[in-house]
Amino acid sequence: MKKSVLFLALMVLLIQSTLAFKTLEIEDEPIENVLIGSKEATFWVNLTNNGDFKDIFRISTLDIQWDIEPKQVTVNARSSNIFKFTITPFTEREPALYGVSVKFISDNDESIKDSHLFKIDVLSYENMISPTFVLPKEINSNKENLFSLNLLNDHNIHLEDIKVVLESDFFSYERELEFLPYEEIKEDFLVSFDGSIEEGQYPIKVKIFYQDEFAKEVITNMNIGYFPDVTEVRTPESSFLVERTTIVKVNEGNLISHESYEKDFTWFEKLFTYTDPKPTSIEKDGKYTYTWEFDLDSGEEVIIFIQTNYRYLVLIIILVVLLLIWLYYLTKRELTIKKKVTTIKRSKEGYSTLNIQVIIKNRSRQTLHEIKILDKLIGVTEEPNFGMIKPDSIKGEMNGVKMIWNIPILRKGEERIIYYQTRLRLKIIGNFVIPVAVAKYRLGNKIRYVRTKAIKLFS
């Protein structure tokens, strides 16, 4: 009997605990849970009331070293309330990872309660920012050098009023910075050295301050080497279709210096570019990169001459154009002759009446003499009817006629149109070819001939 009662009691407690757990659910998401000194930690808290009635939950902690806000939250039945929750240390805490246990208890039913652990990381000033140097392997004290400093905030905290100081025996630089959670900032410093500096290792320091309080110092060494003093002078010149550049490098130091010079060209520029001396190497990567490499001894100079000359290209183009013009005038005919059928009329009997034009034109710049035009017709039923210009002779031939026109002179640009009408004795069946007309003329002491194209008639 006692065992049965004990079992029932345990079951009731288990059911109550399960119901309480199900009735109240707590989740958190850190907004900023990393602290420096007495700064507050903030969280988003999602409090879920799975009960059937609106409830007020009291919030408290037994850890007397921390203060919390708010102290109570109201949540509607079967709803959630997301609110901002802050935990503030009463005094400055030692750097460590802390867990603050917070209780949530229902005002209506104290059996509905739960505890939640909030994790807070308290940082020391030293661990706030992690600096990393990026320095040249060997520093030329005669020139400006680029120093880079990578600064990493590797924590969930917003840092303001951060001062970074870069200093050595030769220079000092200062920056005011602000970091978002987990932000990395790269700061570049263009460093100049004054005076002559001996080769060797020299310390360079980075000091970090937070709200004017010293936080951290990191020291590294920079390697200053011997470098010659090399000057470079470029002299560009431009004239019609020609570009020239002269590069002079002079070693005014007391050590040998290995120098290089690069220049990019398009494939078209490369075709017309001359250099003296020739480049040490030519690399192609969408463009052509000419590279000259050489050693300069003390007091020595090197001169690089680059010329891009398009005059030869223009000269070649002009010669080609003149050649084409010459070929055109060499091959073209001074006299042109065309023959065309302008009208075709068919009778009921199937015969065809044709209106024909023969056009000659003087296309030259001088007068042409002794022009003779010969035209033929086949299958005609009767002598053609002529327009204004009649032939000088008409000779009958087997199944046709031959007509000749003599034109003593044809001036520059002058045109003559010979018109006649004829009737074909034959019915046009399929293809019928009109004979070509031929013109003979004299140009100076030369006799030349031109002819028309054949004309096809289709039934």
Q: Mind listing the pLDDT tens digit for each residue in 233-272?
A: 888 888 888 888 898 888 765 467 778 888 889 888 888 8
Q: Mind listing the pLDDT tens digit for each residue in 24-42?
A: 999 999 988 887 765 788 9
- Residue 70 is predicted with a pLDDT of 93
- Residue 329 is predicted with a pLDDT of 65
Are 349 and 398 part of one and the same domain?
A: yes
Number of domains the chain contains: 4
Are 447 and 372 part of one and the same domain?
A: yes
Mean pLDDT of the chain: 82
The per-residue b/e assignment along 345-370, b for 16 or more CB within 10 angstroms, e otherwise, is: eeeeeebbebbbebbbbbebeeebee
Are 103 and 32 part of one and the same domain?
A: yes
Which of 97, 123, 149 finishes a domain? 123
- Residue 26 is predicted with a pLDDT of 92
298 pLDDT band, cuts 50/70/90, is low
d(CA 239, CA 84) in angstroms, rounded, equals 74
Identify the CA nearest to 258 among candidates 227, 280, 289, 304. 227
Are 92 and 13 part of one and the same domain?
A: yes
- Residue 135 is predicted with a pLDDT of 82
Which of 123, 148, 180 finishes a domain? 123
Residue 81 belongs to some domain of the structure: yes
Q: Mind listing the pLDDT tens digit for each residue in 105-153?
A: 999 888 898 999 999 888 877 778 888 888 877 777 777 788 888 888 8
Q: Mind listing the pLDDT tens digit for each residue in 174-209?
A: 888 888 888 888 888 888 777 667 778 888 888 888
Are 102 and 201 part of one and the same domain?
A: no
Are 360 and 434 part of one and the same domain?
A: yes
Are 202 and 276 part of one and the same domain?
A: no
Q: In this structure, what CATH number is given to the domain that contains residue 275?
A: 2.60.40
Residue 194 belongs to some domain of the structure: yes
Q: Which domain holds residue 278?
A: 230-311
Are 70 and 168 part of one and the same domain?
A: no
Residue 329 belongs to some domain of the structure: no
Are 43 and 103 part of one and the same domain?
A: yes
- Section 94-104 average pLDDT: 88
d(CA 338, CA 317) in angstroms, rounded, equals 35
Are 368 and 449 part of one and the same domain?
A: yes
Contacts of 436 (CB under 8 A, 6+ apart): 339, 451, 452, 453, 454
Are 342 and 439 part of one and the same domain?
A: yes
- Section 96-106 average pLDDT: 90
- Section 350-368 average pLDDT: 85
419 residue type, one letter? Y
Q: For 168, what's the count of Cα atoms within 13 Å in the CB-facing half-sphere? A: 18
Which of 83, 102, 123 finishes a domain? 123
- Section 330-337 average pLDDT: 76
Q: In this structure, what CATH number is given to the domain that contains residue 96?
A: 2.60.40.10
Residue 316 belongs to some domain of the structure: no
Has residue 20 got a pLDDT over 60? no
Q: Mind listing the pLDDT tens digit for each residue in 414-441?
A: 999 999 988 876 555 556 678 899 999 8
Residue 49 belongs to some domain of the structure: yes
Q: Mind listing the pLDDT tens digit for each residue in 386-418?
A: 888 899 998 887 777 889 999 999 898 899 999
- Residue 431 is predicted with a pLDDT of 63
Q: In this structure, what CATH number is given to the domain that contains residue 385?
A: 2.60.40.1170
Q: Mind listing the pLDDT tens digit for each residue in 263-297?
A: 889 888 888 888 988 999 998 888 899 999 888 77
- Residue 33 is predicted with a pLDDT of 83
Residue 94 belongs to some domain of the structure: yes
Residue 209 belongs to some domain of the structure: yes
- Section 46-58 average pLDDT: 91
325 pLDDT band, cuts 50/70/90, is confident
Q: For 239, what's the count of Cα atoms within 13 Å in the CB-facing half-sphere? A: 6
Task: Answer yes or no: pTM beyond 0.85.
Answer: no
- Residue 12 is predicted with a pLDDT of 46
Are 112 and 51 part of one and the same domain?
A: yes
d(CA 296, CA 41) in angstroms, rounded, equals 63
